[in-house]
Amino acid sequence: MIKAIDIKKTYGDNEVLKGITTTFEEGKCNLIIGRSGAGKTVLLKSLVGLVAPDKGEIWFGKINLLSLNKQQTRILRNQMGMLFQGSALFDSMTVEENIRFPLDMFTNMTYKEKIIRVNECLERVDLNGKNKLYPSELSGGMQKRVGIARAIVLKPEYLFCDEPNSGLDPKTSILIDQLIYSITQERNITTVINTHDMNSVMEIGDTINYIENGMLAWHGGKENVLESDNESLQNFIFASPFLKKLRSQAGK
Amino acid sequence: MFNEPLFHLGQYINMMRLVISRPNKFSMFWKELVRQMYDIGIGSLLIVALICIFIGAVTAIQFNYQLDGTLVPKYYIGYIVRDITLIEMAPTVTCLVLAGKVGSNMASELGGMRQKEHIDAMDIMGVNTYNFLIGPKILGGILVIPMLVTVGAAISIMGGFLASVPTGMLSQEQYIQGLNSFFVPFNVILMLIKAVVFSYLLTSVSCYQGYYVKGGSIELGKASTRAVVISDILILVADYILALLLATK
């Protein structure tokens, strides 16, 4: 479980996060949603320590990330995996080398053991036999899947995904969502996903944190997100005239 | 006025503090170090050889021109080519050129990794990116560039020979006599000290510029240019300081 307490972050005169307090639960897909510029990415980057908040506490179990020194942070980060918006695959390495990199860096496994683990991860993301391809030879969806494979290769306790569906078609997006969701459940990891894809919200949003103007405006689950009385959230969900029309036709 | 330079100085010192730390894994550090040494050394050998052969050749021709009609013996050309190569030309000009080639390459590589979130990805994994990405570049430079400078010095002296002996400017014996005259072994040490200091400056400054790049491709281009310009200025300043400290009586 991850607890963020009173997270504040300011860039110059712009107060991006205005004291966010929330909890990300274990074994669940915890979504951070909100409009562009609401502070989602800064919050996610604060959670993983890429951005240092001005104020607040971030608890990974019983460890406060913000009280750790660099060395202790690195040890905690061995328990984290992250899927980046652009996948962030090392483009001069093959798929296999990309996934093997954390194993090379942090384990004393033999080459054979590493290859077995890499193949397990590739099989899990349904990319068997793509070991020797380079990222440039893969589609966007396949790159995301390689990114997921690399993120889970060290069997992390925490998985962070920054807009995993950006740039993907709706069908591939759903496949990526389902993949993340099933991995979260079968490995009982705490997954935090930053998204503004409503399909994701309705498919995998075990818990949903709606951020508006740097503040947590709504917290709940996918079961009650549509019925929420938060007007801003409703405007976010039913942003298009088409959806608004559908909602009014449904009598809401 | 001084805020920005002081900020960069502080950030640079902090970066170096983190670079000089225990690697996550020595075998990975070593692998990266060997790659860097190969890239810097083999990748720059041709350009260094080309530049140095002409430096030696031009030095020989110009000193022959200046000594013409004077009472200074001709064999002094060999002596002057040797000493000017060892003391100044080989370390300084080679490192100025390498700041352009190796330095801009390092800044671009790290800057590109920063922009594509590769550095963030490594940070999240728990990699000490300062040590893993910057350390091998600086150490590789410090180990290989003095070797390049030494090879460059030998080629420069050969360049002087090729420009003067086959053309009849002076005889082979005169050139070799010049090379053997007034030899001060410390000059070789001075050349190597300069090479080590300059290689540290050009690699660390370039890595700093690349690692902390912000923005898009225009900013990356600017960072790469800044890496070369600042490295060159610092090399010239360090050259002056080293000359004052080590080459004055």
- Are the beta carbons of B138 and B204 closer than 8 angstroms? yes
Q: DSSP secondary-structure letter at A51?
A: S
Please say if the pLDDT value at position B9 is more than 90: yes
Query: Exposure string (b/e) for B67-97, b if CB count within 10 Å is 16 or more?
Result: beeeeeebbbbbbbbbbbbbbbbbbbbbbbb
Q: Give strand ranges (E) for A41-189.
A: 55-60, 63-64, 80-83, 158-162
**Chain A partners of B116 at a C-beta cutoff of 8 Å?**
86, 88, 91
Q: What is the pLDDT of residue A234?
A: 84
CATH of the domain spanning A2-79+156-250: 3.40.50.300
Of B152, B168, B48, B39, which Cα lies nearest the Cα of B105? B39
A154 touches chain B (CB under 8 A): yes
pLDDT for B223 equals 94
Give yes or no for residue B199 having a pLDDT over 70: yes
Give the highest mean pLDDT range of A71-75, A127-131, B66-70, B146-150.
B146-150
Contact B77, B175 (CB under 8 A): yes
In chain A, what residues touch B118 (CB-CB under 8 Å)? 88, 90
Tokens of A38: 């609401």
The distance of B167 to chain A (nearest Cα, Å) reads 49
User: What is the model's pLDDT at position A45?
Assistant: 92
State how far the Cα of B37 lies from the Cα of B30, in Å rounded to an integer.
Answer: 10
CA terminus-to-terminus distance, chain B: 38
Range with the lowest mean pLDDT among A203-212, A240-249, B40-49, B192-201? Answer: A240-249
CB contact under 8 A, B124 and A70: no
In this prediction, does ipTM exceed 0.90? Answer: no
Measure CA A138 to chain center: 21
Percent of chain B whose predicted confidence (pLDDT) is above 70: 99
pLDDT at B164: 93
Q: What is the pLDDT of residues B219-233, one digit of tens each?
A: 999 999 999 999 999
- In whole angstroms, give the CA distance from residue B10 to residue A181: 44
Q: With an 8 Å Cβ cutoff, is A216 touching chain B? A: no
* CA distances for A115 relative to A85, A145, A187, angstroms: 26, 17, 21
B72: left (phi over 0), alpha (psi -120 to 50) or beta: beta
* Tokens describing residue B103: 């330095």
B185 touches chain A (CB under 8 A): no
* Euclidean distance between the first and the last CA atom of chain A, given in angstroms as a whole number: 35
CA distance B163 to A182: 74
Instruction: With beta carbons less than 8 A apart as the criterion, state whether B12 and B230 touch.
Output: no
The answer to whether the CB atoms of B120 and A50 lie below 8 A apart is: yes
CB contacts of B126 in chain A (<8 Å) are 73-78, 80, 106
> Could you tell me the residue ranges of all domains in chain A?
2-79+156-250, 91-155
Cα–Cα distances (Å) from B174 to A168, B73, B84, B180, B228, in that order, read 75, 9, 18, 10, 40
H or E element, residue A104: helix A95-106
Q: What radius of gyration, in Å, describes the C-alpha atoms of chain A?
A: 19
Strand A2-11 versus strand A158-162 pairing type: unpaired
Tell me, yes or no, if A102 comes closer than 8 A to chain B by beta carbon: yes
The sign of the dihedral angle between the CA atoms of A174, A175, A176, A179 is: positive
A78: chain B residues, CB-CB within 8 Å:
125-126
Decide if A160 touches B, using CB distance below 8 A: yes
Q: pLDDT (tens digit, 9 = 90+) per residue, A76-104? A: 888 999 999 888 999 999 999 999 999 99
Q: What is the pTM of this model?
A: 0.88
- In angstroms, the separation between the Cα of residue A202 and the nearest Cα of chain B is 28
Taking the Cβ of residue A48 and every Cβ of chain B, the question of whether any pair is shorter than 8 Å is answered with: yes
From the list B28, B20, B224, B18, the residue with the least C-alpha distance to B142 is: B20
Asked if residue A88 lies in contact with residue A116, where contact means CB atoms within 8 angstroms, the answer is no
At A82 the three-state DSSP class reads: strand
> Which pLDDT belongs to residue A251?
63
- The amino acid occupying position A195 is T
pLDDT tens, position by position, for chain A (252 residues)? 899 999 999 998 889 999 999 999 998 999 999 888 888 999 999 999 889 999 999 999 899 999 998 888 888 888 999 999 888 999 999 999 999 999 999 999 999 999 999 999 999 888 998 999 999 999 988 999 999 999 999 999 999 999 888 888 888 888 889 989 999 998 999 999 998 888 888 888 889 999 998 999 889 888 888 878 888 888 888 777 777 777 777 765
pLDDT (0 to 100) of residue A99:
95
The type of residue at A224 is N
What gap in Å lies between CA A22 and CA A7, rounded to an integer?
Answer: 9
Q: What pLDDT, on the 0 to 100 scale, is given for residue B215?
A: 86
* pLDDT in the model for residue B219: 93
Q: Considering only residues 187 to 206 of chain B, which have any Cβ-Cβ distance to chain A shorter than 8 Å?
A: none
Q: Which residues pair with A160 in a beta bridge?
A: A82, A192
The residue type of A24 is F
Residue A252 has a pLDDT of 54
From chain A, the residues in CB contact with B127 under 8 A are 74, 105
Nearest CA to CA, how far is B248 from chain A (Å)? 45
Residue A91 Cα, gap to closest chain B Cα (Å): 9
Cβ atoms of B116 and A86 within 8 Å: the answer is yes
Q: Any idea what DSSP says for residue B134? A: I
Which phi and psi angles does A29 have, rounded to 5°?
A: -90, 110
